[in-house]
Amino acid sequence: MTLPAATAIKPELSNGHQAPIAPADVAALTEAVLRGDYGPNPDGLHAVGAFWVRQSTQFPGTDTKYRNYYLVLRVESGFGGCCVERDQLDSVIAEELSGRSVAELLRDARTPVRVAALDAYLSLVRPHREAAEAQVLMLPHGTPLERARARDEAIAGLLKIEPGMRVGLIGVVNPLVAAIQAQGGICLPCDFNLQRTQDGTEVVRDMRPVLAQADLVIATGMTLSNGSFDQILASVRARGIPLIVYAQTGSAIVPRFLGHGVAAVSAEPFPFSQFSADPTPIHLYRAVGAGDARAAA
């Protein structure tokens, strides 16, 4: 799949105001939102809805079961999603968070709450549908596996993977492993919850060796919820290698780092593709000059 390169994030917004300076990390982005750099004061916005979702997927003919746990917040017309580990939050949180101001949630001691609130706020003030730098791709009507394959082929096609290129995959989904290998890449998988990929490749838990060896890194947005996103961002910046993020978690957060450590993003806002068989959009971002993985570095 060939995708047109996106333009860089514009230095001036459509309302004539200057765009905020690219953040150094997630904490800096959060502080900028709390200052009002991105739009309305978050003190005046509230989470009108809070949802807790438990979901599992197992594709026919496989013995791998993916278990997902989501915290979703609604702020006016914006939704923010954060996938968490099984015991990271109690489901009762969905009953506690509605009615609270976004500013309060952005200061919450729990990382997933802050991430969901930040994502909801940014999805409201920076909706993907208004992003000139994003290409919309409609996932086709079909089975879960058909839709997952279409999504993961698009992710792997965001940057050109050269044969023999070592691709660090932080957050393993087997169709994405296959998509990387189909382009001739050598997949270096890392995940907390899997021991081997479907083709038998060992999956490591420690991402540091993967980050040290990879020529290109593909990471899930769930790295936001476990706190490793900033570490990944620092590593790829220091090494000068490209980073692709496939984001259900933080789909509105990660594009804020485009061209500043993140080379490309597959952003999939709530409701996520696995909740429907009908065509649904993903929003594909690429930084200027990021069509080739080596050039993007």
Is 2 contained in some domain? no
User: Under 8 Å CB-to-CB from 153, ≥6 apart: which residues?
Assistant: 1, 179, 182
Does residue 293 have a pLDDT over 60? no
CATH number reported for the structural domain that contains residue 160 in this entry: 3.40.50.11590
pLDDT at 6: 33
- Same domain for 220 and 284? yes
CATH label of the domain that carries residue 49: 3.30.390.100
Verify that 124 and 156 share a domain, yes or no. no
Q: Are residues 120 and 139 in the same domain?
A: no
> Whole-angstrom Cα distance, residue 187 to residue 173?
12
By residue range, what is the domain housing residue 167? Answer: 131-296
Please give the tally of structural domains in the chain: 2
Same-domain pairing of 202 and 261: yes
Residues 196-205, mean pLDDT to the nearest whole number:
92
DSSP 8-38: PPPSB-TTSPBPPPPPSSHHHHHHHHHHTTT
Same domain, 205 and 175: yes
With tokens 């450590």, the residue in question is 261
Average pLDDT over residues 249-276: 95
Asked if residue 3 belongs to a domain, the reply is no
pLDDT recorded at residue 4: 35
Given a cut of 90, is residue 245 above it in pLDDT?
yes
Q: State whether 101 and 156 are in the same domain.
A: no
Q: Is residue 17 in a domain?
A: no
How far, CA to CA in Å, does 196 sit from each of 189, 226, 282?
9, 21, 28
| Interval 205-225: pLDDT, tens | 999 999 999 999 999 999 999
Higher pLDDT, 201 or 15: 201
Q: Is 38 exposed, middle or buried (0-12, 13-18, 19+ CB in 10 A)?
A: buried
User: What CA–CA distance (Å, rounded) separates 275 from 160?
Assistant: 30
Assess whether 161 and 111 both reside in one domain. no
Interval 57-68 mean pLDDT: 84
| Percent helix / strand / coil, the chain, rounded to 5 | 30, 25, 45
Residue 36 — left, alpha, or beta (φ > 0 → left; ψ -120 to 50 → alpha)?
Answer: left
Specify whether 146 is located in the same domain as 193.
yes
Task: Give the predicted TM-score (pTM) of the model.
Answer: 0.89
Helix (H) or strand (E) holding 96: helix 93-96
Name the percent of the chain lying above pLDDT 70. Answer: 91
pLDDT for res 296? 52
The domain boundary, picked from 96, 129, 162, lies at: 129
Is there a domain that residue 38 lies in?
yes
Same domain, 149 and 51: no
Specify if 292 maps to a domain. yes
Q: Is residue 103 part of a domain?
A: yes
Tell whether 119 and 258 lie within a shared domain. Answer: no
